[in-house]
Amino acid sequence: MTEEERYQRLLERYEELATLAGSLAHEINNPLSVIRMNVDLLAEDLAETHTPENQRALTKLEIVHNQCSRLENLLSSFMRFAKVKPLDLRPGSLNQIVEQVVRLYDPLCAQDNIEVVRYLDPDLPSIRLDAETLHAALLNLVKNALEAMESGGQLTVRTYPTPTGVALDLIDTGEGMDNETALNMFKEFYTTKQGGSGLGLPTARKVIEAHDGRIAVQSEVGRGTKITLEFPAPARLS
Ligand SMILES: Nc1ncnc2c1ncn2[C@@H]1O[C@H](COP(=O)(O)OP(=O)(O)O)[C@@H](O)[C@H]1O
Ligand SMILES: [Mg+2]
């Protein structure tokens, strides 16, 4: 078997497993919704009579409700991740997608004392991209940056040409990552957050690599994190 064939076979097995995992997630999701719905109905019934016993039962139901919601979120992130959707790559503007994503968070940033600094090169060459998928991937990265700056900070987004294409830096002045996090951040389900899915970075990487791009992370505890994405720009598009 040639290297190419081995790779192809690996890829097929991977896609098979991803599909399987996706259907499993679906199968779990349905009964889970039924459980949560009935827990909510039960809570409504109990809330009608104010007794100490009912109060205690309600507190426990709230825990069940919250854990169900957490599982539901996890499953929907996972289903998005496992979906092996072929990309629709067309010439497009990275600046435009970055701007759209960042704009979504402008109100939240204003509220959380986060200053957003944009340096988007107006002469940036076009790249081949799938707008919707790349948008979702960048959203994960910006969300992580903001979540790392709970007590305010600065988010710098910068695009610039490189010798082979274009690049995007996302720099936050947040809490940064320790060594263990830096080693595991791209592993599915690895999270340091209460209620985190641990799928943001692995999904983003999968999407960026499907664009022939690369993602690099530099981080220092207490100082912040810099994420750099690089994409090739086909000569005929620039
Ligand atoms: N910008 C960042 N600053 C600090 N830590 C980060 C940043 N981005 C990612 N991380 C770390 O990587 C982990 C995995 O991120 P991710 O895959 O998006 O999952 P989640 O956000 O659900 O935890 C996070 O839990 C966090 O510890
Ligand atoms: Mg995340």
Check which CATH number belongs to the domain holding 45 and give it: 1.10.287
Q: Show the 3-state SS of 58-111.
A: HHHHHHHHHHHHHHHHHHHHHHHHHCCCCCCCEEECHHHHHHHHHHHHHHHHHH
pLDDT confidence band for 9 (50 / 70 / 90):
confident
Q: Which domain covers residue 33, as residue numbers?
A: 3-82
What is the spatial distance between Cα 203 and Cα 81, in angstroms, rounded to a whole number?
6
Query: From the CB of residue 180, how many other CB atoms can be counted at a distance below 10 Å?
Result: 10
Query: Are 135 and 52 in a shared domain?
Result: no
Whole-number percent of the chain with pLDDT over 90: 66
Query: Are 28 and 110 in a shared domain?
Result: no
- Our answer on whether the CB atom of 137 is closer than 6 Å to any ligand 1 atom is no
Q: Which residues contact 183 (CB under 8 A, 6 or more apart)?
A: none
| Ligand number nearest to the C-alpha of 178 | 1
Q: What are the structure tokens assigned to 106, written together?
A: 């402008």
What is the spatial distance between Cα 155 and Cα 5, in angstroms, rounded to a whole number?
44
Beta bridge partners of 129: 90
On average, the pLDDT of the chain sits at 90
CA 140–ligand 1 middle distance (angstroms) = 9
What is the pTM for the complete model shown? 0.76
**Ligand 1: which of 168, 184, 201, 208 to mutate, most ligand atoms within 8 Å of CB?**
201
* Pair type for strands 90-92 and 153-161: unpaired
| Ligand number nearest to the C-alpha of 145 | 1
Amino acid present at 213: G
Query: Are 27 and 111 in a shared domain?
Result: no
Nearest to 233 by CA among 140, 170, 160, 171: 160
Whether the predicted pLDDT of 80 surpasses 80: no
CA 196–ligand 1 middle distance (angstroms) = 8
Q: What are the structure tokens assigned to 80, written together?
A: 């998005």
Whether the predicted pLDDT of 223 surpasses 90: yes
Average pLDDT of 206-215? 91
What is the spatial distance between Cα 140 and Cα 98, in angstroms, rounded to a whole number?
12
pLDDT: is 136 or 11 the higher one? 136
Whether the predicted pLDDT of 236 surpasses 70: no
- Our answer on whether the CB atom of 141 is closer than 6 Å to any ligand 1 atom is no
- Phi, psi of 162, rounded to the nearest 5 degrees: -120, 170
Query: Are 168 and 202 in a shared domain?
Result: yes
Query: Are 68 and 111 in a shared domain?
Result: no
pLDDT confidence band for 83 (50 / 70 / 90):
low
Whole-number percent of the chain with pLDDT over 70: 95
- Our answer on whether the CB atom of 173 is closer than 6 Å to any ligand 1 atom is no
Query: Are 73 and 96 in a shared domain?
Result: no
Query: Are 166 and 97 in a shared domain?
Result: yes
> Which tens digit of pLDDT belongs to each residue from 26-75?
788 888 988 999 999 999 999 999 899 999 999 999 999 999 999 988 88
Query: Are 62 and 115 in a shared domain?
Result: no
pLDDT confidence band for 238 (50 / 70 / 90):
very low
pLDDT: is 47 or 85 the higher one? 47
The answer to whether 78 and 115 have CB atoms below 8 angstroms apart is no
Query: Are 213 and 98 in a shared domain?
Result: yes
What is the spatial distance between Cα 127 and Cα 165, in angstroms, rounded to a whole number?
8
3-state secondary structure of 218: strand
Average pLDDT of 11-32? 77
pLDDT confidence band for 78 (50 / 70 / 90):
confident
